[in-house]
Structure 1
């Protein structure tokens, strides 16, 4: 018998349309706290960005920002307290579909567009103490400024040409040109101060006085694993410093409050023989020296932008990082002392008050979507003060616990286990094992993709394992997984599965595995290694590693990771699922997006065609207009309904039900 189901209305319908908080911005004087978020549109075909005012006392909750409208996003405050944001609204309309522009909204008055660019603005940054803004926007080859870029775009549109000629990698980086950093002082005209390369990520920062701009420049074909940080004069564009380190990439630059240093994340990607490592570094702008700020810290500052103290001369820094299935806030003092400020939950979008006494953040967890919270800046392992109420998903259809065991090499392993209502020794629940994507990642936060609670609502228990290569468990966890995507991580997942199935409230005879991205790869690999599961779901996963490393938008990285298939075939033969396709007997559901450039569609087609040829039961759920994840509310509904019906059929033995919209 299956535990009670939570289907009135279907939980995945509520989940797909639930509002999503995405970020926070705090006014320079600390009096206004703005949250950005998304809500589902009326017909379920997309999410609409919006801005909300948060009561810092927590009494009045959250309300729409006066003067803002649907489509506004990415809030930040100018030095004078004006709220800045990006929006696709047209200048004369409340809501519109124009190119994304930069807008300014005073606390009293109407919003006005202050910067625009043909093809839109991607990101922006403001100076803490000056009327200066920097933003990232693209220029087509041959364009020297926004005006000439616009002429070239109109000519292409009039000629109905959307072809792109790539003269450097990576390809499929977009047809709107190379990202450039523009700086606008007061009400002056914006000035282009430098290109970021075809794969530029828009990371930009301004010094407090607006005199310097920092941006990251993309790797080149000659050094595909190395980018650099450029610090340029924000008036002339002259490069003052270029920081780089072979084999490393820098992200999320931010100036200290006195403008003397630049702090950013430094990331060394893994190779076949060296593990992934992430730290925070500071560049002294007088000497050019680079200092590792976390030399002995074993858990990464991942993800998130570092937050320096707003007090000039104060070397305090706050950051977040995965740790044992959570993502706490950490404080680093000037002497290098690190204090964990929170023990439970996952935090992001940190803001600090101008007197450096209070933090605001978004706090989520595997069992709760993000909410706005307030924290003390120094108290260790504190409980947050929630400023926004829980949303419409509570109570969740089940409970969360942990599973712990030991790997074959003695390494401690852990996983979250979501249990459905009513699971017991008398009514054991079927189990779905869901390894995470990455592989560098962790089940530490509320996932908007591959959330466990729609499964528990249907009566399934869900195991969320963190195997080798997961973040939050120190460098040992990285070293254990080196050189074998489908080896130690697979064995860790099986060890955690065995430990979970030792519980009396789980049914060891009715199990499935499902996953997305790296988790989708592990699901596919598992199908070739064991027949213990009754069903497999692979979403956006790799199947043929040799073809994948040639076709992905991160080809240089994966070729470095897997090696040259002509001379290092053993790496592919050890871990590529397609070489063992004949061993698959478990029914498989493949899910893939037609616009997926990270794991291109050919991986799903090859997987599907191999299984069909071999007579293995297989279904293929294809979303032509989706990318590596699923971003449309109605598609999320279809995804869960298809997966759950597939599991009901093969795990529970129920009759197959094709989703009505398919």
Structure 2
């Protein structure tokens, strides 16, 4: 079989055009499921969110929400069943997650009525939340420095626009966060009362996360206040009076950050994620905690549960007095749904696949979620809240990608320190001992992550359609394998994780249906870093692809928007030289001349997580050393490539590059480049 002649453009065009479910909410009476779906806009140049109605019974076909259109996102239900969402529809703005949010307002849509804006803010609304038992709504929006209220903020914005000024003076705040430039306005939490207008409930701090919660009766509002430059590893939970904005209590713990606050149904406790980020001496750890609102006492809800270091957003039972809690968490290449009972017992409700966007029915008996696997895109599913290791019932969901070009299996082996390792392996159609397939190893980003879910970018089935097998290893620092997996890789990006990838590669290539003489390695973000590291250490791969990968760790330390996070792991390069010398690939650049492994570099010009200087430095080193290199540059893209046409070009370039160097075929330059 000539693998390279497979119909790749047909498959990755289907992949790019497929609707992408992103969020799911359930109405207060349990009869309406609203799904947020990203689709390509009418011009075909970007993804925009749309709202769909999904039948909870699974009988009716999904349909677009009446009176909704492109650009509607972040759906939620008010207590009376009114559908709320964010939209830039007033002036036709699409308001996608990476677009300009200046016109985004909060809209309300009754089941059989018209959509109307209920809250607007100069500069746009960024996020919102609702009270389960009242008509109170809270939202995140910005105030410019010197603005004590919304009216002053509006006048200051007008002055800047008239003067054509978009400059920002940073004083006590970070310049960048979350991969984007931080503007001059500071996020605040506002509470909307139908009878009393809008109350400013306080600042979230610059680079605030937008995490908010309202008590069921709407009397309390909670938001997280961002970490500061002096305490970058500590944020604060602020509890305020929703009627006056008065700050009632703050909660924090040195060296920890809190996310995803949510009230229990009786309003007596606040449940949050608590995160301790990795340092050189302590491993990454995330758990779920409960705060007693009367005493402020904090309780770890998962003190002995070691399946992963990263439980997902908590979803409490909707029944007052019921302490049951639902959440997801990575586990052995999956992301199951778990139930925690009042006595601390944890039950795994699903055995296979990855789950997000949990919704629980009003009577607490049924869960809805988005379910996917490495070999199936996200779909809405239904399951009960009591049965262990069940297979959820799929509901009719927008999209139909069709049959995939291959099959999925697993690879298991043992690391050099005796730790058990596993990986997913996708095999192309026709792979056999008689016709072994070429292999591409694709380590994930993060590094705290797992190859346990469907991916829209770097999708292994795009490679399989070309005839490549794809190995998706979970090395040290991956989530879902307990705290020991974090300890094994702590502070040594270039150590155990790299050796684990090679161990899994060797195990895969022991299979008769894989061709050890035709292999490549490709990765994004931390996976790109591992590709860069590989270029300096071995010539066993015939080609390497790196997207947004770190090269010079010292320069990266100063440029990245995650400067504070990264410094906690490796310290200041002026005083901790040995840590950078042990982990920075650029120091061993001369070794690339010996292996001369061809490399393709992919980079976004607006990437602030791994800035473009990393790619430029690698490119210059490869040119100087005479190593074959191509540089695919997207000036307007960020850390991930988002534009549909750009994603198409990226797949075509990567696959043609691999065909040329791994399979020995003629190089084909994509037509639009």
Whether 2:117 is the aligned partner of 1:113: answer: yes
The 8 Å contact of residues 410 and 424 in structure 2, kept in 1 or not, is answered as yes
Looking at structure 1, the residues matched to 312 and 568 of structure 2 have their Cα atoms a distance apart, in angstroms, of 26
Whether 2:201 is the aligned partner of 1:190: answer: no
Provide the residue aligned with 1:582 in structure 2: 590
Pick closer, same or farther for the CA change 1:95–1:168 going to 2, 3 Å: closer
Provide the residue aligned with 2:649 in structure 1: 638
The 8 Å contact of residues 8 and 462 in structure 2, kept in 1 or not, is answered as no
Looking at structure 2, the residues matched to 74 and 615 of structure 1 have their Cα atoms a distance apart, in angstroms, of 50
The 8 Å contact of residues 309 and 483 in structure 2, kept in 1 or not, is answered as no
SS of alignment partner, residue 254 of structure 1: strand
Match of 1:319 among 300, 322, 327: 327
Quote the offset at 1:299 in angstroms.
2.5
Using the TM superposition, name which of 160-169 and 644-653 deviates more: 160-169
Whether 2:598 is the aligned partner of 1:614: answer: no
Looking at structure 2, the residues matched to 648 and 108 of structure 1 have their Cα atoms a distance apart, in angstroms, of 54
Looking at structure 2, the residues matched to 94 and 481 of structure 1 have their Cα atoms a distance apart, in angstroms, of 44
Looking at structure 2, the residues matched to 246 and 348 of structure 1 have their Cα atoms a distance apart, in angstroms, of 29
Q: Which 5+ residue runs of structure 2 have no aligned equivalent?
A: none
Looking at structure 1, the residues matched to 342 and 294 of structure 2 have their Cα atoms a distance apart, in angstroms, of 18
Whether 2:488 is the aligned partner of 1:480: answer: yes
Pick closer, same or farther for the CA change 1:405–1:95 going to 2, 3 Å: closer
Looking at structure 2, the residues matched to 322 and 388 of structure 1 have their Cα atoms a distance apart, in angstroms, of 26
Provide the residue aligned with 1:208 in structure 2: 216
Provide the residue aligned with 1:250 in structure 2: 258
Quote the offset at 1:144 in angstroms.
1.8
The 8 Å contact of residues 69 and 95 in structure 1, kept in 2 or not, is answered as no
Whether 2:158 is the aligned partner of 1:147: answer: no
RMSD: 1.4
Provide the residue aligned with 1:163 in structure 2: 167
Match of 1:273 among 269, 281, 286: 281
SS of alignment partner, residue 148 of structure 1: helix
Looking at structure 2, the residues matched to 188 and 252 of structure 1 have their Cα atoms a distance apart, in angstroms, of 27
SS of alignment partner, residue 190 of structure 1: strand
Pick closer, same or farther for the CA change 1:389–1:124 going to 2, 3 Å: closer
Whether 2:239 is the aligned partner of 1:228: answer: no
Looking at structure 2, the residues matched to 234 and 301 of structure 1 have their Cα atoms a distance apart, in angstroms, of 34
Quote the offset at 1:3 in angstroms.
3.5
Using the TM superposition, name which of 41-50 and 133-142 deviates more: 41-50
Provide the residue aligned with 1:525 in structure 2: 533
Provide the residue aligned with 2:90 in structure 1: 90
SS of alignment partner, residue 589 of structure 2: helix
Provide the residue aligned with 1:343 in structure 2: 351
The 8 Å contact of residues 127 and 208 in structure 1, kept in 2 or not, is answered as yes
SS of alignment partner, residue 90 of structure 2: coil
SS of alignment partner, residue 639 of structure 1: helix
Provide the residue aligned with 1:122 in structure 2: 126
Provide the residue aligned with 2:176 in structure 1: 172
The 8 Å contact of residues 3 and 423 in structure 1, kept in 2 or not, is answered as no
Looking at structure 2, the residues matched to 309 and 288 of structure 1 have their Cα atoms a distance apart, in angstroms, of 21
Whether 2:664 is the aligned partner of 1:656: answer: no
Match of 1:405 among 380, 395, 413: 413
Quote the offset at 1:152 in angstroms.
1.6
Using the TM superposition, name which of 60-69 and 71-80 deviates more: 60-69
Quote the offset at 1:11 in angstroms.
1.1
1:251-297 deviation digits (Å, cap 9, x = unpaired): 00000000001001000000011100000000000111000000011
1:464-484 deviation digits (Å, cap 9, x = unpaired): 000000000000000000121
Looking at structure 1, the residues matched to 42 and 405 of structure 2 have their Cα atoms a distance apart, in angstroms, of 25
Looking at structure 2, the residues matched to 242 and 153 of structure 1 have their Cα atoms a distance apart, in angstroms, of 31
Quote the offset at 1:10 in angstroms.
2.2
Looking at structure 2, the residues matched to 115 and 42 of structure 1 have their Cα atoms a distance apart, in angstroms, of 28
Quote the offset at 1:576 in angstroms.
0.3
Pick closer, same or farther for the CA change 1:303–1:35 going to 2, 3 Å: farther
Whether 2:422 is the aligned partner of 1:421: answer: no
Quote the offset at 1:301 in angstroms.
7.0
1:73-94 deviation digits (Å, cap 9, x = unpaired): 1110000000000001107x79
Quote the offset at 1:387 in angstroms.
0.5
Quote the offset at 1:561 in angstroms.
0.9
Quote the offset at 1:69 in angstroms.
1.2
Whether 2:62 is the aligned partner of 1:58: answer: no
Provide the residue aligned with 2:35 in structure 1: 35
Quote the offset at 1:119 in angstroms.
1.3
Q: Which 5+ residue runs of structure 1 have no aligned equivalent?
A: none
Task: Give the number of equivalent residue pairs.
Answer: 661
Provide the residue aligned with 1:48 in structure 2: 48
The 8 Å contact of residues 279 and 300 in structure 1, kept in 2 or not, is answered as no
Match of 2:269 among 261, 264, 272: 261
SS of alignment partner, residue 229 of structure 1: strand
Match of 2:636 among 620, 625, 632: 625
The 8 Å contact of residues 100 and 120 in structure 1, kept in 2 or not, is answered as yes
Quote the offset at 1:157 in angstroms.
1.7
Looking at structure 1, the residues matched to 256 and 298 of structure 2 have their Cα atoms a distance apart, in angstroms, of 13
The 8 Å contact of residues 397 and 421 in structure 1, kept in 2 or not, is answered as yes
Provide the residue aligned with 2:549 in structure 1: 541
1:518-546 deviation digits (Å, cap 9, x = unpaired): 00001100111111001111101100000
SS of alignment partner, residue 219 of structure 1: coil
The 8 Å contact of residues 287 and 311 in structure 2, kept in 1 or not, is answered as no
Looking at structure 1, the residues matched to 603 and 618 of structure 2 have their Cα atoms a distance apart, in angstroms, of 11
Using the TM superposition, name which of 95-104 and 547-556 deviates more: 95-104
Looking at structure 2, the residues matched to 5 and 307 of structure 1 have their Cα atoms a distance apart, in angstroms, of 48
Provide the residue aligned with 1:137 in structure 2: 141
Using the TM superposition, name which of 564-573 and 531-540 deviates more: 564-573
Whether 2:429 is the aligned partner of 1:439: answer: no
The 8 Å contact of residues 304 and 349 in structure 1, kept in 2 or not, is answered as no
Pick closer, same or farther for the CA change 1:389–1:329 going to 2, 3 Å: same
The 8 Å contact of residues 69 and 94 in structure 1, kept in 2 or not, is answered as no
Looking at structure 2, the residues matched to 329 and 4 of structure 1 have their Cα atoms a distance apart, in angstroms, of 39
Whether 2:105 is the aligned partner of 1:101: answer: yes
Provide the residue aligned with 2:296 in structure 1: 288
Looking at structure 1, the residues matched to 578 and 312 of structure 2 have their Cα atoms a distance apart, in angstroms, of 37
The 8 Å contact of residues 3 and 427 in structure 1, kept in 2 or not, is answered as no
SS of alignment partner, residue 10 of structure 1: helix
Using the TM superposition, name which of 322-331 and 232-241 deviates more: 232-241
SS of alignment partner, residue 271 of structure 2: strand
